[in-house]
């Protein structure tokens, strides 16, 4: 009786482990294939058991090359889907690690793999779109994702991992910065947008250094060349050159404002000196002295950021002069012998016209003729303003 009980117990143990034992076998018998398929069916629906189903399916597939085997075709679809899913999860995990470690090159490389199967993934596009601010080598590529991310956010997609204003500020900065070298005028709207949004971005000095560079190398450079081309012989003023000059001065004022904001926000002494040197050059050029410069830097952050200037299309009409005396008398324009209008435009002895206009710095201009534009000082170094993303 005891012997029969032992045999029955052994038989039960063998029966209990029959399927696993078959699953471990490499023999491509019909019995083993049936056992592998049965193991697959019992486990593939439960996420926690899918690895068991996957291994069983792989063993089955290793034992058949019959194109008409419908079981094999079914198992192949499962295996392919499983491989694709886990490959995507692996890339996603690597992308997350690259984001946390601020490895911007890997964010771009891995992000492209994710977007190949999910192009409207807002979070991945946002992270890739900000990466260019941390690594200039990926800036141009990053800007394309920034544009896509802006469109997704404006269409209602989540701005994670940022708030909406944070994400849009960083992304606009990327787009603007990418245009600085090739199309600086096109950079200005994005840089202004980045500065106007309610985020920490508008407290970063480098944003305003970039904005100043966009004004200087974009509309300011273009208008300077146009001004020279509109002058008459021997650099004499013409109505056309005066009109261009009015527009040029507006742009220079925006350039000065941007540098003043960068100086006000910069805490690094070396960087601040470089910015102040550049600012002083342009402020003195525009205002003919340094008077008011320190006050400008101290108060500029309390003032609204100036928008792009509206083009001036015609010169102001001079008012009719009153009480005009004879040339050279105190009743006229002084000893220069010219005519002084009530509108404040003086004809100087050298034939130049002194144009008076109110600048955004709050100072009056002197002789506004930029016959030789001042040479800017070296640009502030970027290293101490690295974006914290």
Task: Report pLDDT digits (tens) over 153-171.
Answer: 999 999 999 999 999 999 9
Burial class of residue 162 in the structure, from the number of CB atoms within 10 Å of its CB (0-12 exposed, 13-18 middle, 19+ buried): buried
pLDDT in tens, 57-105: 889 999 988 888 888 888 889 888 887 787 778 999 999 999 999 999 9
Residue 24 shares a structural domain with residue 169: no
Q: In sequence order, what are the residues at sequence separation of 6 or more whose Cβ sits closer than 8 angstroms to the Cβ of residue 28?
A: 62, 63, 64
The residue-averaged pLDDT of 49-59 equals 88
d(CA 269, CA 351) in angstroms, rounded, equals 44
- Whether 113 is covered by a domain: the verdict is no
φ, ψ (nearest 5 deg) of residue 144: -65, -40
Q: Is the pLDDT of residue 324 over 60?
A: no
d(CA 3, CA 195) in angstroms, rounded, equals 89
Q: Is the pLDDT of residue 376 over 80?
A: no
Query: Angle 196-150-381 (CA atoms, 0-180°, nearest 5)?
Result: 55
Q: What is the pLDDT of residue 320?
A: 60
Q: What is the pLDDT of residue 366?
A: 38
- Whether 306 is covered by a domain: the verdict is yes
Domain count, the chain: 2
Q: What is the pLDDT of residue 50?
A: 87
Token digits for 109? Answer: 């490389």
Q: What is the pLDDT of residue 272?
A: 97
- Whether 146 is covered by a domain: the verdict is yes
pLDDT in tens, 176-221: 999 999 999 999 999 999 999 999 999 999 999 999 999 999 999 9
Q: What is the pLDDT of residue 367?
A: 38
Contact 85, 71 (CB under 8 A): no
The residue-averaged pLDDT of 284-304 equals 97
Provide the 8-state DSSP code for 336. Answer: T
Q: What is the CA radius of gyration of the chain?
A: 36
Mean pLDDT of the chain: 81
Q: How many residues comprise the chain?
A: 389
Domain encompassing residue 42: 16-96
Residue 301 shares a structural domain with residue 365: yes
Q: What is the pLDDT of residue 40?
A: 87
Residue 139 shares a structural domain with residue 78: no
Q: Which of 101, 100, 98, 135 is nearest to 113 (CA)?
A: 98
- Whether 2 is covered by a domain: the verdict is no
CA distances from 275 to 4, 47, 206, 212 (A): 97, 59, 10, 11
- Whether 321 is covered by a domain: the verdict is no
- Whether 32 is covered by a domain: the verdict is yes
Among 48, 80, 96, the domain boundary falls at: 96
Token digits for 51? Answer: 């690895």
* Secondary structure string (H, E, C) spanning 263-323: HHHCCCHHHHHHHHHHHHHHHHHHHCCCCCHHHHHHHHHHCCCCCCCCCCCCCCCCCCCCC
Q: What is the pLDDT of residue 321?
A: 53
Q: In sequence order, what are the residues at sequence separation of 6 or more whose Cβ sits closer than 8 angstroms to the Cβ of residue 4?
A: none
The residue-averaged pLDDT of 41-47 equals 89
Q: What is the pLDDT of residue 380?
A: 43
Q: Which has the higher per-residue pLDDT, 131 or 379?
A: 131
Residue 68 shares a structural domain with residue 135: no
pLDDT in tens, 271-289: 999 999 999 999 999 999 9
- Whether 112 is covered by a domain: the verdict is no
Residue 60 shares a structural domain with residue 208: no
- Whether 6 is covered by a domain: the verdict is no
Residue 180 shares a structural domain with residue 128: yes
Q: What is the pLDDT of residue 389?
A: 53
Report the greatest alpha carbon distance in the chain. 145
Q: Residue 383 — very low, low, confident or very high, per pLDDT cuts 50/70/90? A: very low
């Amino acid at each position: 009786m005891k012997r029969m009980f032992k045999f029955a117990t052994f038989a039960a143990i063998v029966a209990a482990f029959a399927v696993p034992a078959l699953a471990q076998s490499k023999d491509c018998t019909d019995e083993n294939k049936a056992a592998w398929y049965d193991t697959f069916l019992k486990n593939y629906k439960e996420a926690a058991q899918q690895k068991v189903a996957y291994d069983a399916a792989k063993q089955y597939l290793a034992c058949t090359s019959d194109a008409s085997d419908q079981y094999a075709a079914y198992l192949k679809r499962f295996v392919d889907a499983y491989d694709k899913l886990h490959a995507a999860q692996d890339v996603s995990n690597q992308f997350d690690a690259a984001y946390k470690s601020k490895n911007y090159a890997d964010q771009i490389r891995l992000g492209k793999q994710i977007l190949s199967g999910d192009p409207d993934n807002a979070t991945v596009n946002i992270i890739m779109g900000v990466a260019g601010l941390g690594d200039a080598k990926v800036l141009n590529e990053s800007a394309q994702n920034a544009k896509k991310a802006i469109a997704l956010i404006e269409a209602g997609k989540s701005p994670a991992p940022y708030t909406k204003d944070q994400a849009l500020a960083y992304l606009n900065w990327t787009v603007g910065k990418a245009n600085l070298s090739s199309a600086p005028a096109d950079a200005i709207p994005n840089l202004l947008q980045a500065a106007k949004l309610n985020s920490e971005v508008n407290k970063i000095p480098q944003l305003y250094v970039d904005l100043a560079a966009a004004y200087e190398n974009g509309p300011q450079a273009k208008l300077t060349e146009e001004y020279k081309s509109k002058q008459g012989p021997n650099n004499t003023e013409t109505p056309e050159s005066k009109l261009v000059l009015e527009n040029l001065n507006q742009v220079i004022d925006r350039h000065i404002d941007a540098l003043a904001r960068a100086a006000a926000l910069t805490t690094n002494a070396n960087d601040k000196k470089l910015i102040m040197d550049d600012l002083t050059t342009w402020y003195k050029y525009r205002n003919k002295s340094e008077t008011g410069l320190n006050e400008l830097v101290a108060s500029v952050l309390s003032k609204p950021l100036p928008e792009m200037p509206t083009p001036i299309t015609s010169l102001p009409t001079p008012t009719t002069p009153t009480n005009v005396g004879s040339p050279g008398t105190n009743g006229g324009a002084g000893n220069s012998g010219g005519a002084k209008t009530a509108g404040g435009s003086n004809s100087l002895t050298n034939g130049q016209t002194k144009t008076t206009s109110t600048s955004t710095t709050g100072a009056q201009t002197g002789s506004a003729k930029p016959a030789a534009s001042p040479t800017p000082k070296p640009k502030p170094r970027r290293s101490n303003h690295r974006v914290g993303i």
